[in-house]
Amino acid sequence: MAQPLAYLNPEFLDSAEARPIRILAEYLEPLQRFKEQKIQDTVVFFGSARVDSR
């Protein structure tokens, strides 16, 4: 019985070994959408807010 191709194998894609592939996909998928929408530049703000405890 033939094994499914790795990119079609949910068991592999959900494994710890495939983590780099999932991380890369999280970068490439939005990049593709930006290109489709002709978005060339973006600005990202990182931050946090904290409330002092009383």
pLDDT digit string (tens) for 1-54?
788 999 999 999 999 999 999 999 999 999 999 999 999 999 988 888 888 777
pTM of the model: 0.66
3-class SS string, 1-54: CCCCCHHHCHHHHCCHHHHHHHHHHHHHHHHHHHHHCCCCCCCCCCCCCCCCCC
